[in-house]
Structure 1
Amino acid sequence: MSMDPPPPPASAGDTDAPVVAPKTTRSESFSSQKSTDSQTAAEFIRDQMQLEADAREALPYSIESCTNILGSLRQSVFACLTCNPPPAEPKDPYDGAGVCYACSIQCHGEHTLVEIFTKRNFTCDCGTKRYPPTTPCSLRLNSTTNTKGGVHSEEPDANNKYNQNFRNRFCACECDYDPFQQKGTMFQCLGLGTSETGGCGEDWYHPGCLVGMGPNWFESMKKEKPATVKEPTEATAMPTISEDSEARPGDEATAAKKQDGDEDVEDEDEDPPMPPGFPGEDDFEAFLCYKCVNANPWIKKYAGAKGFLPAVFSTQKNAEVIGTEEVAKKRKAEDDADVSEAKRLKGTSGPAEGQPTSSAPAVKQETQEASSVTCRWALLPSPPAGEFSLFMTEDFRNNICRCSSCYPNLDPHPQLLEEEETYEPPMSDGGNSEHGGSTNGSGSLLERGESALRNVDRVRAIEGVMAYNHLKDQLKPFFQQFAESGKAIGAEDIKSYFAKLRGDDQAIKDAGGSANGSKDDKDDSRREQSGY
C-alpha cells in the first residue's frame, strides 16, 4: 500500500496559504481504522464454513471418480468448448464430446462448459481421443504408470451419440444457450432416435418454437400491452379541492410513472407465460417433439388417447384446430360407445332366471382372453394431419399397447416401456459426522485440519502443543495493549512485532530510518517489508 506525498510547506510570506493538517504515520493510520474491517478467529471460521456449505449445496455430489469405468449410463453430461471448440461456421461438421459431472469440475473446472443435463447411454469422453492430450483425465487410473491421472488418447465409446447440444446449440431455432440472457422454461424431449435417424437426440425446446411462434414470441405482448383503466371508486369518484392543488398533478404523474416503472421491472423479472396452444406445465409429464414423432409415425395415433394430450401442432392453423376438435369429439363418441358396451356386458354377464350360475365365470374368462389379444393401437382412430408434438401424462406408459404386433416398435425405445433411472454420483461428505469429516478432499477445511491433527503421532503432537503455548504467551501482552486501548491492530503493528520476535532489530531500525528520510523527500520513495 502506498500513500500520496504531503504538500510542500508554506513559506513565511504566504499569508493565505492553506493550513495543512498534521500528518499521521502508517501505524497510526492503520490503528485508527474501525474494527468493522476486522474479524475474530471464530467469525472467520464461521464465514469459511458457510462458504463451504454454500459450495456443497451448489455442487452436492462427490467429484472423486470418473464414470468412464462404469460404461454407458443415463447421466448428467457437460461439453467443454475450451478443449473442443465448435467451428466458426454453424453448418460445418463438428465432432462433439462430453464429460461426466466429476470431470467437469476436476479436469475442466476452469474451462468454458455447457451443461447439457441428462443424456442416455453415454460414456464419459474425458481422457479419450475426442479431447486433446493436453487435457488428460485426472481421475482415472493410468494403466501405463499405474497411478491416478494423466489418462489421454484412449478410444471413445462408439455407442455415444451426439447432437447439436454439444456445440451449445439448442431447440429447433438453433440458438446458442446463454443462461444469463435466456428467459422462460425450456423442455427436454423424451427422445425417440438420434439426430442421424431423424430424431432430436433428447434436445431442449422453447415452448414458442413447438407451436411455431418462435422463442421470443412474448416480446410482442409487451409492445401490445393494453393500458389499464381503473374503475372509479368512492375515494376517487369525486374531485377534491385543496390549497396545494397546483402541485398535485405533478405529484400524481410522478407516482404514476414510478408505478409504471415498478411494473416494468416486475415484467422483466417474471418468466414469460406459455404461448397459446401449449399445455400447462402441470398438465404433462413428458413430451416428444415433432421431429421424433415424424421419425416414428406409428406413435401419431396416440394423440388424444388416454395418457396423451391432444396434438400440439408446430404451426397454428385454423384447419388443424378444427381437426383436433373433430378428433376429440370422435374419441369421446368412441369412449361413450365403450362405456355402453361395458354396461351391456355387465348387464348380460349375470345369470338369467333358470340358468346355472357357472356360466358367469366362463363369460368373464372369454372377455379377458379377448382383451389380452386385442391390439389397442389398431382400435385408435387415424392420426390428425399435420406436423405436431405429443405431450404425455404421468401414466402414459400404462396405456401404450404392448401386443406382439406393437412390441417391435417399442423395443428400440425402452423409455416408452418404463421410467429410466438416471445415475447420480454419491453425495459428497458434508463433514457432519461426529469425527469431523475425512482428509480425502471432503468436509470443511477446519474439519480436515482437525482430522489431520488426530492422525499426528504423539511426539509431534506434544511438540506442536508446546510451540502453540509458547506463541500464545508471547502474543498475549501484544494483544492486551490493543484490547485496553480499544484500537484495531494494524498491519504495520503485526509486522513490527513479529520482527521483534525474530530478533530482527536492525531491520526495524533500517525501516524506521527509511521512513524518517522519506519525510523530507517529495517523491516519497518508501519501501515496505514483505508481509508474513
Structure 2
Amino acid sequence: MSNDSKSTLIADDVETLTAVDYIESQRELEKEARELMPYDPNECTYEQGELRQPLFACLTCSSQNDNTPIGVCYSCSIQCHSQHELVELFTKRAFVCDCGTTRMKDTYDGACKIRRKGKEKRERKMSNASATSASHLALPAEDIASESNTYNQNYHGRFCGCKQLYNPLEESGHMIQCYFGFVCGEDWYHDRCIMGVKVNQLLKKTGENVLEKLSSPGIDASDNNTSLKKEDEDEEEPDSIEQLHYFPKLETFDEFICWKCVAKFKDIFEELDAKFPSVIMAKLPRFDDTLTVEQWYQRREKLSEPKLKKIKTETTTNSTGELQDQEYSIFLGNDFRYKILDHFDELDKSSKLFEFLSNNSYLFKDDPIFKPPEDDSEEGWSTADMGTAEALHSLPRDKAIESIQAYDKMRSKIIDFFKPFADNGKVVTEDDVTKFFGNIRDKSKDNDG
C-alpha cells in the first residue's frame, strides 16, 4: 500500500469519526458528571429541621453580617451561594440550614431562592393563576434562624487545634474528623496535631486536596492512607523529614475522638474501656511542642513504663502503664458499635456510662446522614449543574461556576452543530467548522453592541 493511500485512509477516518465521536464523548462526560454529583440541588433542608447533613460555611455572607457564622445546606450552596466564598465542612449533626434566615439579615437579596420558588409555586397553584413570578425582586433574609445550631471555628474556615485556615493547595498530611464533637464541634484535625508534632518538621506536599479523599463521618475510613510518605523511600533526601510513624493506620479503626472531647468525659471513656475491652483500640497521647515523631515516640514510651513515677511534670503512670493526667485521643475499633450494642442492656442502669451512652446514642447506634434526593431523570442535570462537583472543592467557586456555565452553552451549540452530520453520516469539513465559529463571533458582537 502506498504512503498516499495510507494518508488518505487516516484522514478519512479522522474526518468521518469527528462528529460521532464528539457527541459520544459528551455523553460519556455527562454520565461521569452524574456519577460524581448525582443529587438534585433543588431542595433546601431548612423546613426539615435538625439533620446530620453536608454543610458549607459561607464566608461571604458571614463577612456581610458582622462575622456571624453561617452554614448552608448542599442545595443552597449551589442555588443561592454559588458566587460566594464557601468552605466545605462535610457533615455536622443536628443542624438547620441558615440560608435565608435572620443570621443573613444584612445580605442583599438574602432570601433563600429555593424556598422562595417553592412558595411562589404553591401560591400560584392555590390561586389557579399564572401570576408573574416575583423571583426577580430582591428580598431580605427574614426566616427564623434555629436556636439549636452550634458553631465552631470551622464556620470561619479554620480547623484543628492549630486553628489554621484550610488551604487545599498547601495542606500536608491527612485530616480526621472528631466523631463525638461535644467540645470541639466535630472539628477536623491534622494527624500531626493529634500527636502534637510541629508542622514545620513534617514533609509538605502541595496540590493535594486532603478533605476530598476522606470518607464521610459515619462511613468506614479504611480507604484512606494515614502515613506521610516520601516520594521515594529508597532515595535519600537531605532536606526531607521522617515519616509520620506510630499513628494508627486508618484500616485499623473506625472513628476518632479528639483529646478535647476525651478530657471532658475522661472518666466515662475509661469506664467504657474497662467495660468493653477492645472497643478502644488505641489511645494516642498528645505532647505539645514535639519536634519529631521519634521524640514523640520516646515520650510515649516513658508513659508506658511501669511503676508510679513522675515524668517531667507532664503526667504519671500506674503499674499497668495507663494514661492518667496526659492528654490523649482515642480510636474506636472497626466493630465497636456491635460490641457496645451486644452488652449495652447489661450495664448498670444507674451508672454514669449507661447515662452517657443513652444521652449520646448516636455514638453506637444508627446515625444516618441526610442526602438530597437523587436526580432520576433520564437526561440528568445540565453540565453546568453537574459540573459544580469540581467547583464545590474550590475557593472561591464563582469563576469555576462561570466557566462551567460558559462551557455548557458552548457544548450545546457544538452538539447541535454536529448532530445533523452524525445523523446523515456526512463529513464535517474545515469550512463547516470555520463558518460555525464565525457565526458565533458575529452573534457575540451583535449582543455586545
TM-score bucket (shorter structure): 0.5 to 0.7
> Of residues 332, 335, 339 in structure 2, which corresponds to 1:392?
332
Distance 2:231 2:178 in 1: 37
Give yes or no for contact 1:77–1:117 (8 Å, CA) kept in 2. Answer: yes
Match for residue 117 of structure 1? 90
Distance 1:184 1:144 in 2: 46
Compute the displacement of 1:314 (Å): 0.6
Distance 1:38 1:66 in 2: 47
1:133-157 Cα shifts (integer Å, max 9, x gaps): 4233111146975379667221111
Letter in 1 for 2:157: N
Q: Greater relative contact order: 1 or 2 (C-alpha under 8 angstroms, separation 6 or more)?
A: 2
1:120 alignment partner, SS class: strand
Compute the displacement of 1:184 (Å): 2.6
Q: How many residues align?
A: 327
Match for residue 105 of structure 1? 78
Match for residue 418 of structure 1? 365
Match for residue 7 of structure 2? none
Match for residue 430 of structure 2? 488
Compute the displacement of 1:110 (Å): 2.5
1:73-132 Cα shifts (integer Å, max 9, x gaps): 001001112222399xxxxx9421111111111111222211100100011111112222
Match for residue 311 of structure 1? 283
Match for residue 185 of structure 2? 201
1:489-529 Cα shifts (integer Å, max 9, x gaps): 15675799x9xxxxxxxxxxxxxxxxxxxxxxxxxxxx979
Distance 1:68 1:44 in 2: 42
Pair 319,54 (structure 1): closer, same or farther in 2 beyond 3 Å: closer
1:428 partnered with 2:375:
yes
> Of residues 263, 276, 282 in structure 1, which corresponds to 2:245?
276
Compute the displacement of 1:162 (Å): 0.7
1:224-255 Cα shifts (integer Å, max 9, x gaps): xxxxxxxxxxxxxxxxxxxxxxxxxxxxxxxx
2:149 alignment partner, SS class: coil
Pair 324,403 (structure 1): closer, same or farther in 2 beyond 3 Å: farther
1:191 partnered with 2:171:
no
> Of residues 403, 407, 425 in structure 1, which corresponds to 2:348?
403
Pair 283,262 (structure 1): closer, same or farther in 2 beyond 3 Å: closer
Pair 139,86 (structure 1): closer, same or farther in 2 beyond 3 Å: closer
1:45 partnered with 2:23:
yes
Give yes or no for contact 2:175–2:190 (8 Å, CA) kept in 1. Answer: yes
Give yes or no for contact 2:285–2:329 (8 Å, CA) kept in 1. Answer: yes
Write the mapping of 1:351-500 to structure 2, written as runs, cut at 5 A.
Answer: 384-397=324-337, 398-399=339-340, 402-404=347-349, 405-406=351-352, 407-429=354-376, 431=378, 488-489=430-431
Letter in 2 for 1:219: L
Distance 1:284 1:417 in 2: 14
Match for residue 255 of structure 2? 286
Pair 124,292 (structure 1): closer, same or farther in 2 beyond 3 Å: same
1:293 alignment partner, SS class: helix
Distance 1:322 1:494 in 2: 75
Compute the displacement of 1:38 (Å): 11
Give yes or no for contact 1:173–1:215 (8 Å, CA) kept in 2. Answer: no
TM (norm. structure 2) is: 0.60
Give yes or no for contact 1:208–1:214 (8 Å, CA) kept in 2. Answer: yes
Pair 85,39 (structure 1): closer, same or farther in 2 beyond 3 Å: farther
Runs of 4+ with >4 A deviation: 34-41, 141-145, 147-151, 261-264, 317-320, 380-383, 436-439, 441-444, 490-496, 527-532
1:309 alignment partner, SS class: strand
2:92 alignment partner, SS class: strand
Q: Is there any run of 5+ residues in structure 1 with no aligned partner, and where?
A: 1-33, 88-92, 194-198, 222-260, 328-379, 445-471, 499-526
Distance 1:495 1:190 in 2: 54
2:87 alignment partner, SS class: strand
2:41 alignment partner, SS class: coil
Distance 1:62 1:220 in 2: 37
Give yes or no for contact 2:71–2:99 (8 Å, CA) kept in 1. Answer: yes
1:201-221 Cα shifts (integer Å, max 9, x gaps): 100011110111034542399
Q: Percent identity, aligned pairs only?
A: 31
Give yes or no for contact 1:129–1:152 (8 Å, CA) kept in 2. Answer: yes
Distance 1:300 1:65 in 2: 39
Larger Rg: 1
Pair 319,155 (structure 1): closer, same or farther in 2 beyond 3 Å: same
Distance 2:31 2:49 in 1: 32
Distance 2:19 2:61 in 1: 42
Pair 164,493 (structure 1): closer, same or farther in 2 beyond 3 Å: closer
Write the mapping of 1:232-311 to structure 2, written as runs, cut at 5 A.
Answer: 263=232, 275-301=244-270, 302=272, 305-311=277-283
Compute the displacement of 1:412 (Å): 3.1
Match for residue 165 of structure 2? 176
Give yes or no for contact 1:308–1:393 (8 Å, CA) kept in 2. Answer: yes
Distance 1:133 1:213 in 2: 44
Give yes or no for contact 1:191–1:203 (8 Å, CA) kept in 2. Answer: no
CA RMSD of aligned residues (A): 4.6
Pair 324,493 (structure 1): closer, same or farther in 2 beyond 3 Å: closer
Compute the displacement of 1:64 (Å): 1.6
Compute the displacement of 1:71 (Å): 0.9
Distance 1:381 1:416 in 2: 27
Write the mapping of 1:107-146 to structure 2, written as runs, cut at 5 A.
Answer: 107-131=80-104, 132-141=107-116, 146=123
Write the mapping of 1:56-67 to structure 2, written as runs, cut at 5 A.
Answer: 56-67=34-45
Letter in 2 for 1:291: K
Match for residue 210 of structure 2? none
Give yes or no for contact 1:126–1:137 (8 Å, CA) kept in 2. Answer: yes
TM (norm. structure 1) is: 0.52
Compute the displacement of 1:417 (Å): 3.5
2:145 alignment partner, SS class: coil
Pair 174,211 (structure 1): closer, same or farther in 2 beyond 3 Å: same
Pair 128,323 (structure 1): closer, same or farther in 2 beyond 3 Å: same
Pair 412,213 (structure 1): closer, same or farther in 2 beyond 3 Å: same
1:411 alignment partner, SS class: helix
